[in-house]
Amino acid sequence: MDFSRVELTPQQQSFAGVVRATLGQLMTPDVREHERETGDGFSEKVHLALAERGWLTPAWPVSEGGAGLDPICQRLLELELERHDVPDITAGTTLLVWTAVEKFAEPELRGKLKAGVAAGTARFCLGYTEPDGGSDIAAAKVRAVRDGDEWVLNGSKIFTTGAHNCQYTFLITRTDPDLPKHKGLTMFLVPLDTPGIEIQGIRAFSGERTNIVYYDDARISDRYRLGGVNDGWAVLHGPLDEEHSIGDGEDGLADLSIGRHFLRPLEAALDSAIGWARDSARADGSRPADDPAVLARLGRVATEIEAGMCTPGPMGRVKGSLALVEGAAELIDLTAPLGVLSPGAPGAPGDGSIDYAHRFAQGTATYGGTIEVFRTIIAQHVLGLPRPGYPGSKVFLPRSRAAAGTPQS
């Protein structure tokens, strides 16, 4: 691994300055307040402004609505978006889904959507999880039944983050319940303005908004099908593997750990706790920072952050979440009662960053797939261990086989 410093050219340094100045103008107090109030992870004003500069699809050629940036400028843009806390959840899910749309959509639809993605007007969310399905995506029960050139959708999805800000959802459905679990699935890119679709918001403990999406005899054209009928698992795998950090593709510029996103709130919380330890006074006039035990606890959180940032692949997702959960609890315990003050509350250290990190941490065991799912990925894809067989595990069997009494495995 190359740890040498990346030397920026004058053009790259100039670009970084332009990005900083632009984002400083875009991230106005009203944008930040909107995010605090809604938890959307999205600002249409900022999203469209980024699109005007080609920054939603920075690697795409300018002729296709992108910015044509080299890999280093792409990374500079990414880092500045993070440093300015730009709400980017919907931008991320859109690019994740686009890889499947580009490969499997009909040419006419693909061309129309590509222009919309670059312009910021075509946005995609992930229609994977179901209320009773947990992280077992292949156990999808949302039914898609063919009726001529249309499909009729029925069922519901949960944790469809960004659905209320998107035009399409990347929906996994069950089209043949008689086939084995992974075989009877079909993927669709469903227009969310279709009659029969209802989006209902849910607020997470952190304040973030996600959604339940209901499908009640919603009819869509077959042109929105991605890939073959009952071949949805193959269509899904590209975006899913990218989200789970399975496979190659590292260019040496990206974060080593995919759990890095979970550590940013903890970094802000740690900075706030350090400020509290340095600047506040106890009853005896001493500062918390004068206490070796306090310094040791702060140092332990800092060490875990570094460990989380340096843990690669799917292991980094697990480590990032665990470091946040444990570190945020440590900082809450250390700074209480100030640490539990919410953002915006008078006297809250770092404008409530410790409280926010603690609340955000609670959901990170499930975001993008549970920790248990990632531990299975580590076991099978990293360590090469066999797939486990649990007593009483369920499988989908063709009705003919089940009726014949075929033993389940």
In a domain, 237, yes or no: yes
What's the pLDDT at 399?
44
Domain shared by 216 and 291, yes or no: no
Which pLDDT does position 396 carry in this prediction? 43
Question: For the chain, how many structural domains are there in total?
Answer: 3
Same domain? For 366 and 271 the reply is yes
Per cent of the chain over pLDDT 70 is 91
pLDDT band at 391 (very low <50, low <70, confident <90, very high): low
Q: Tell me what pLDDT residue 242 has.
A: 64
Identify whether residues 210 and 271 lie together within a single domain.
Answer: no
Q: Are residues 192 and 281 in the same domain?
A: no
106 in a domain, yes or no? Answer: no
pLDDT at 251 over 90: no
pLDDT in tens, 318-375: 999 999 999 999 999 999 899 999 888 898 999 999 999 999 998 888 887 788 888 9
Query: pTM for this one?
Result: 0.85
Q: Please report the pLDDT score of residue 403 as a whole number.
A: 45
Alpha-carbon distances of 67 from 23, 26, 55, 156, 398, rounded to whole Å? 16, 18, 6, 38, 50
Contact between 174 and 141 under an 8 Å Cβ cutoff? The reply is yes
CATH number of the domain at 153, please: 2.40.110.10
Q: How far apart are CA 381 and CA 384, in angstroms?
A: 6
Residue 312 and residue 262 share a domain: yes
Q: 404 and 273: one domain?
A: yes
pLDDT above 60: residue 393: no
Q: Domain range for residue 385? A: 251-409
What is the model's pLDDT at position 404? 44
What's residue 366's pLDDT? 84
Burial 22-48 (b: 16+ CB within 10 A, else e): bbeebbeeebeebbeebbbbbbeebbe
Model pLDDT for residues 281-322, shown as the tens digit of each residue: 999 999 999 999 999 999 999 999 999 999 988 899 999 999
Query: Has residue 199 got a pLDDT over 80?
Result: yes
Do residues 161 and 180 both lie within one domain? Answer: yes
Domain match, 265 and 201 both = no
Integer Cα distance of 121 and 245 in angstroms: 28
Note whether 183 and 217 are same-domain residues.
yes
Q: Is residue 105 part of a domain?
A: no
Asked, for residue 263, whether it belongs to a domain, the answer is yes
Per the CB < 8 A criterion, the answer to whether 200 and 221 are in contact is no
269 and 377 in a single domain? The answer is yes
56 and 166 belong to one structural domain: no
Tell me which of 82, 242, 243, 326 is the catalytic residue.
Answer: 243
**Quick check: is 250 catalytic?**
no
Among residues 243, 263, 298, the one where a domain terminates is 243
72 pLDDT more than 50: yes
- C-alpha 386, offset from chain centre: 28
What ranges make up the beta strands (E) of 118-191? 124-127, 143-147, 150-158, 168-174, 185-191
Query: Which two structure tokens, joined as six digits, stand for 196?
Result: 């029969």
Residue 96 lies in a domain: no
Confidence grade of residue 402 (pLDDT, cut at 50, 70, 90): very low
230 within some domain: yes
pLDDT per residue over 117-154, tens digit each? 999 999 999 999 999 877 788 889 999 999 999 999 99
Say yes or no to pLDDT of 100 above 70.
yes
Where does the pLDDT of residue 273 fall: very low under 50, low under 70, confident under 90, or very high at 90 and above? very high
Q: Are residues 165 and 227 in the same domain?
A: yes
